[in-house]
Chain A
Amino acid sequence: MSETVIRVANVSKVYGTGEAAATALSEISLDVERGSWVAVMGPSGHGKSTLLQIMGGLDRPTRGQVYLHGIELTTLGSAQLAQTRARAIGFVFQSFNLLPHLTALENIQLALWFGGKGDEKGHAQAMALLDSVGLAEKAHLCPGALSGGQQQRVAVARALANDPDILLMDEPTGNLDSAAEAELLALLGRLHEQGRTIVMVTHNPAVAGRARRVVRVRDGRIEGDRVNGS
C-alpha cells in the first residue's frame, strides 16, 4: 500500500470578510501518494493555484487541515513552515520567480543556504544541479540573460536544491514555447522516475497527459479525480 505524503482534509479558503468574502476552496479533500505525478486542471480562478499554495504551506486554509508526511502544516509556526518549504518541498512557478539580481548559480545557492548549506558546500552542489539541468555553462548569467526555457530549468534546479521528495508546480510550462516545454517535461519525467512526487497545476491537456493522475477543480471543489488512461 502506497504512503500518503500530502493529505488535504476538508479544506476551505475564503478571501475577505462579510459581503466582500470570496470562497476559493470549499471543503476539498485530497490524498497524494509518494511517487505519484498529479495534474490539477480546471478553469482559471477556480482554486487550482490556491490549492497548491495551501498544500505547500505558502498560504493557510480558512478551515480544514493539511498534512505533509503526517505533520499538520496548519499547526506549524511561520519559522517551522519556512523550514518545511526549504527542505521538504520544491516550488516551480509559471513566471519562473528567480531573483533578477542574482546569477543562476546564486539563485540555487540561496535555496541551499535557506536549507542550511553554506557557501563552499553550496557552491559545488549548485553547480552539480545546474549541470543536471544542462545549464552549467550559464551558471554566472543573471535570469535576464537566459531564455524562458533556461530560466524554468534553473527554477527546477533551485526546487531540487535541498533534495525534497515533493515538487509543487504552478503552470510550469505556461510561459514556454513547445521545444522548451518538451525539454521540461522530459526533465520532469526523469525526476518522477527517480521517485519524486509531483503535483502540477496546468491548463494544458497535453502536459496533464504526462501525469499519472488528473484532478479537476471547478468552483473551489473537486469535480473529478481519475488515473490517466483509465
Chain B
Amino acid sequence: MNLGKLVWRNLLRRKGRFAFTLGGVAVGMAAFVSLLTIGQGLDREIKKQAQGLGANLVVTPKGWCAYEQISVLTGEQLPEAIPMSEIDKIMAVPGVKTAVPYLNEKTAFRNRPVPVIGILPEEMRALQKWQIAAGRYFKAADEPAVVVGAAIAKQFQLKPGDSFTVRGHPLPIIGVLREAGNKDDVATFMPLPVVQKLYEVEGKVSFAAVQVDDLQQVDAVSLRIQEKANVAVVTDKQLLSSILSIVGMVSGAMQAVAAVGVLAAAFGIVNTLLTAVYERRREIGIMQAVGSTRRTLFAAFLLESGLYGLLGGILGVLVGMLGAYVLGPYLTDNAFTASLRQSPVPSLDGATLLLTFGLSIGLALAAGLYPAWRATKLSPVEAMRYV
C-alpha cells in the first residue's frame, strides 16, 4: 500500500462524480487553452503579415483609427484618402528608397467578399519579390487584367484565362501568384489606374508602403515625410505594436472569461472533496485508529485534488487544442482577423503549456486545501461514530 494507490482507489470509488468533476476542470481548461492558442495564433499571424508588408514606414491619411491600421496588414477595404500628388512628394523626400501605393477595395465574387488591391505592378513586384505560379505577370502599368493570390485561386478554382468581374466589368485573369503565406494569398491585384477607374477614385490611394535607404534614419525620414506631405506616418514596428496591443487586449479579455470557467471548476473540486470528506468521515476515523497521521490524511486529500488538476489539465489541453483547430477558423472569421483565418495548425509553446498545467494543478491544489484541512480536524472517536 502507498499514498498513490490509496488515493487512486478513493478517486475511482464514485466514478460518476469523478467524471463530472474532471469534466468541469477539463472544459474550463479547454476553453482557456483554446482561446490562448487562438490568441497566440493571431499574434503570430499578425507578425508574419507585418513582415510580409516589406515596408519600413507606412504612410496613412491623418486620423486613421486602429481598425484601419489593422486593415493595412489584413488587406481589408480602406478609404481612398491620399492623393497621388502626395505620393509623388514622398518619393522626392531624401532618404526614401521607394514608396509603393495601395488602393484597397473590395468586390463580391460568387457571393463572397474578395479584396481588390490596386498596385503599381513593377514597384510592387520589386517590394514583395512575388513569384508567378501559373500564367504571367502584368506587362504594362495600366493593363486591364487580374493577378490572383494562391488562396483565392484555390478557393474559387481560378486559373489564367478565367474571367473575374469587378463592378460589372469582366477582366481576364492572367496569372496566379505563388503562395506567400500572408495576406497576398487572399487578395486579387490589378494595376492602380485600373482599380481607380473601376471604383471612380481617380488620383487617390489608400496608403503607401515606404522603404528607406538607411534603416538608422527611419525616424528622420518619417519626420521629413510629414513635413513635406499632408499625411501621417507610422513605422512598421509602431504599427505592429499598436495592432498587437489591440489583439492582445481582446485575447486577454477572452482568456479572462475562460479563467472564470477554470475558477468555477476549482469550486467544483472543493465541492466534490468536501462531499468526500463528509462521506468518508467514518473511514477517516478508522484510518486514524489504525495509525494514520493527520499529515497523511491531508496529503491524501490534497493529492486527490491535485490529480483532478493534472488529469483535467491534460484533457483540457487536448480538447482545447482540438477546439482551437476546429473552431479557430470560425472564431477568427470577423472583420478584424478575416484574412488571418488560414492560420496553420494551432500550437502551444512549451512555456505556455507549463503555465497551463501549472494553473490547472495549482488551482486544484488550492481547491483541495480546505477539504484536506477539514479531514484532519476530525477526531477519530467522533468520526467513527458515523455509520
B303 to chain A, nearest CB (A): 14
* A87 CB contacts on chain B under 8 angstroms: 291
* CB atoms of B290 and A110 under 8 A apart: yes
CA of A56 to CA of B287, assembled, Å: 14
Q: Which of A64-90 contact B (CB under 8 A)?
A: 78-79, 82-83, 85-87
Contacting A at CB under 8 A, from B282-310, are 282-283, 286-296
Interface flag for B10 (CB, 8 Å): yes
Judged by a CB distance under 8 angstroms, whether A101 is at the interface is yes
Across the interface, A158 reaches (CB within 8 A) one of B10, B290, B296, B381, namely B290
Tell whether, in the assembled complex, residue B2 and residue A83 are in contact, meaning their CB atoms are under 8 Å apart. no
Interface residue ranges of A91-128 to B (CB < 8 Å) = 91, 93, 95, 97-102, 106, 109-115, 118-119, 122
- B291 contact from A83, A93, A106, A118, Cβ within 8 A: A83
A residues near B295, Cβ cutoff 8 Å: 79
- Nearest B residue (CB) for A78: B294
Nearest-neighbor residue (CB-CB) of B382 within chain A: A59
Asked if residues B291 and A58 are in contact (CB atoms below 8 Å), the reply is no
Residues of B with C-beta under 8 A to A162: 291
Contact with A along B355-387 (1 / 0, CB 8 A): 000000000000000000000000111001001
Q: 6 more A-B contacts (CB under 8 A) besides A58-B381, A85-B288? A: A58-B380, A79-B295, A114-B292, A114-B296, A119-B2, A122-B1
Chain B residues lying within 8 Å of A118, measured Cβ to Cβ, are 1-2
The interface residues of chain A lying within 8 Å CB-to-CB of B287 are: 99, 110, 114
Residues of B participating in the A interface, judged by any CB pair closer than 8 Å? 1-2, 6, 9-10, 13, 282-283, 286-296, 379-381, 384, 387
Q: A99-B283, A101-B9, A102-B9 are in contact. Are A85 and B290 (CB under 8 A)?
A: yes
A115 close to B380 (CB less than 8 A): no
What are 18 pairs between A and B in contact, CB < 8 Å?
A: A78-B294, A79-B295, A82-B292, A85-B288, A85-B290, A93-B289, A97-B384, A102-B9, A110-B6, A110-B287, A111-B290, A112-B1, A114-B292, A114-B293, A118-B1, A118-B2, A119-B2, A158-B290
Shortest A158–chain B CB gap in Å is 7
Asked if A175 CB lies within 8 Å of chain B CBs, one says no
